[in-house]
Structures are given as structure tokens and as C-alpha cells.
Structure 1
């Protein structure tokens, strides 16, 4: 990934299930500096200690306007923004619905991602355009009823990604949407296989930045579902809905 060598990255949700793998992948790709964002930067001390000259833990709450603006004003050398932070509560939309959890998913997965893109767009422009990587999911394209509100929040993030991509094209900013299926992290421990390893998700996402690819589908499950969506989206919707009957 020679084109990543020397770049300066910021990763949100760096202490999450995939975040640590992004940090490792960026290290291996030769990135010069990695700002590792989390609400509690102390949670990143262990991974920062592995490469203290390159990994800089930063306090960042993507649901807070002031926190995001402060980051954009402070870390003005960023040319690769990875919006990895996300939450999901595995809840259906009808029985036992929690609107607090819906709001949290929307605040983080949708509004937080948009907030970061808007704040860092001028930074990326000043640094030659750069790239944004938005961690989405194939469930942004078809609802999984057992995790329905999460799917909806990611669908909003997907359409926002497309809109932001159009807006930032003129400044030369690549905007990548990453849509894996089930990723083998703690969040999906109760879900059956197939699962894609987080290392593979990161590899595909970073390769997309190198190759200038806008949408990628890491893992066999995501690729098969994308093919189904292109061939017969209603059939896939019905197959996902049938899970409730099971």
C-alpha cells in the first residue's frame, strides 16, 4: 500500500472492535502518524505504547459538536479520515423497542459520521483532497429485522456518504463506503457464521483508498448479499424477514 506511506490518519472509535485493527493496518501501510480517537483516550494507552512516535491517543466524542470542531482545529495535518466509531444494540423495531437506543445509534452511526465529514472536509481540502473512509455495513442496503434500528441508522449513513461524496468530489476527496457482512468481533459474538475477520475488513478498506474505489464489500457474505441485491432485492428482503418467522 505504497500510496498510504507517509500519510496522516485519524481513526474514530479507535478502541472498538475494528478500531485497533485499523491502527495496526495503518502502521503496516507506513502511515506517518495516527490520531487514535476515543471518548476516553486512556483506553488507548496500551496500543499507543506499541508505537508512541506514531500513535497519538486523542479525546474525541463524535456526538459532541465542540469535541469534533476542536479536533478539526487541532489536527490540521490529517489527510485520511476513518470514521469507524459505531454502536449497535441488536434490537427489533416493534417488540420492546428502546427509543433511547435508537437515538444513540442515529447519533453515532449517522449524525456522528456526518459531523466528522463536515468538520474535516476543509482540512482534507487544505491537504490536497485526501480521503474519507466510512465504516458502514451491507445491512445499510437491506434491513436485518433482528437488528432493525441499527440497519436503519447505517442506511442513513450510506445515503449521507453518497451525498458527501458528491459534495467533495470537486476538492479531490475520495469518499469510501465499507460494507462488510457480519464481522468477527465481540459485537457479533451471538451471530452465526460466516463472519469476516476484522483484519480483512481493514485490508479491503485501505486497499480501496489506494485504488480509488468508492464502495467495497469485504467478506464472502457481503459480496453474496450485494450480488443478490443487484439481481433480486425483494427476494433478499423477504429472506431476511423470514428470520423472524424462524
Structure 2
């Protein structure tokens, strides 16, 4: 789809990738609904700010009612509670799953009918290299992203008949608040968002935004010891 003259809604637009998505969509000529659980934190001129908590059904319904002209949905809102699965806090594990899987699903279900009404449009789900790779200390995030990937593949098939394109964006560590405390190489979020929006315009089903993500996906075809040497 063409982003110029589109109407986009971005979840989690108050910071990080979400703010970059809203800013670049504006620059590409879109009308932008910038949503956040705390809308007062959205500080980007030119957007229409809406309250949206993806873990709250009433909040999702209210946002959908306030943005009936949307034809590009960017599911960016995320959480990472940094929990392992066996010994971690179950409620925090559930928060990651509620945010990434059920939150994305509920937002898609709310907006899919209006996407159909508005010509089909497109959905971009922000996934991760950790969709395919588990890290000790972040099992809840990896599991939630894996579930969100499965969701993305399923809704792509389900929404094809109404003309809605569904794209999954996978990326490795990117310089946002979520990984600010980690001294590791990080991608420029502005570049990642530009790659993602170019991919949406090109109609790509899946975008691997950096070389680390490409390497992880390629390794899935081999023995698991390639990804996890300590298992060898």
C-alpha cells in the first residue's frame, strides 16, 4: 500500500519505535493516530492522540470508535518483564503474553472490519529476533513474541480475502528504552522504522531488519546447537 494519504494508527507511540513510526508516517504523508496507555506522554506535533491500553478491551473499543478511517494499523505496543518461565513471576509472564499476543489479537479483531470498509489496507506487527531465539532471563518475552508470530501468520491468511496485507517486522536489539540498560550493539530505531515502512509499501509479508535477525532465522534450519552452543 501507499503510505502517502493513508490513515495510520500506531500503538505504543509515546516512545521508542512507536514514536519513530508516528514521526516517519507523518513525514511520508499519512494522517496518524498516535496511541498510548498514557496519552499525555505523546509529544509529537501533528498527530491525533488517543488513549489505548492493548490489555483493556474497553480501551481498544473506544480507540477503534474514535478512528474509523484507519487503513494502516501498526501494532507496536510492547512489554518485557524479563522473566524466566520455570521460576519467574507468573503474573509478569502473563503480562508479556497479554500485551504481545492477546493485545495484538484484540486490536486486530477491533480494527479488521474498518480496514475492510476502508479498502483493505495493511497491518504491521512489530515482532523480534527473539521470536526464534530464547535468552536466559527473558523467556516470557521470547514466548510471547513466538506466539505473536504465529498470530501474524494466521491473521495474514484470514484477512487476505478482504484485501488486508499483514506484515511481520523482526528486529534485533535496537536503541530504545526497553534495552537502554544493556551495553550491547544496538540498531538505530529510525533506520529500522524506515526499513519497516518501505517493506509495507512493497507488500512484504515478513521483514528481517538487520543482519543478526537474518542469522537467527537462517540458523533455525540447522541443529539447535548452532543457536545454543551450551547444549552441545
Structure 1 position 179 matched with structure 2 position 170: yes
Q: Runs of 5+ in structure 1 lacking a partner?
A: none
CA–CA distance in structure 2, aligned partners of residues 160 and 185 of structure 1: 25
Is it true that 1:147 corresponds to 2:138 in the alignment?
yes
The reply on whether 1:238 has 2:225 as its aligned counterpart is: no
Structure 2 residue aligned with 1:201, among 192, 200, 209? Answer: 192
CA distance in 1, matches of 2:37, 2:179: 22
1:26-175 map, 5 Å: 26-31=25-30, 33-44=31-42, 46-47=43-44, 50-51=45-46, 55-95=47-87, 97-175=88-166
| C-alpha deviation, 1:17, in angstroms | 1.7
Helix, strand or coil: the match of 1:222?
helix
Q: Does the 8 A contact of 2:132 with 2:216 survive in 1? A: no
Give the distance between the partners of 1:11 and 1:220, measured in 2 at CA. Answer: 26
For residue 146 of structure 1, report the CA deviation from its aligned partner: 2.3
Q: Which moved more, 1:65-74 or 1:204-213?
A: 65-74
Any gaps of 5 or more consecutive residues in structure 2?
Answer: none
**CA–CA distance in structure 1, aligned partners of residues 227 and 215 of structure 2:** 14
Contact 2:18 2:76 in 1 (8 A): yes
Residue matched to 2:6: 7
Give the superposition deviation at 1:192: 4.3
Matched, 1:229 2:220: yes
CA distance in 1: counterparts of 2:136 and 2:227, whole angstroms: 10
Aligned partners of 1:180 and 1:233: how far apart in 2?
22
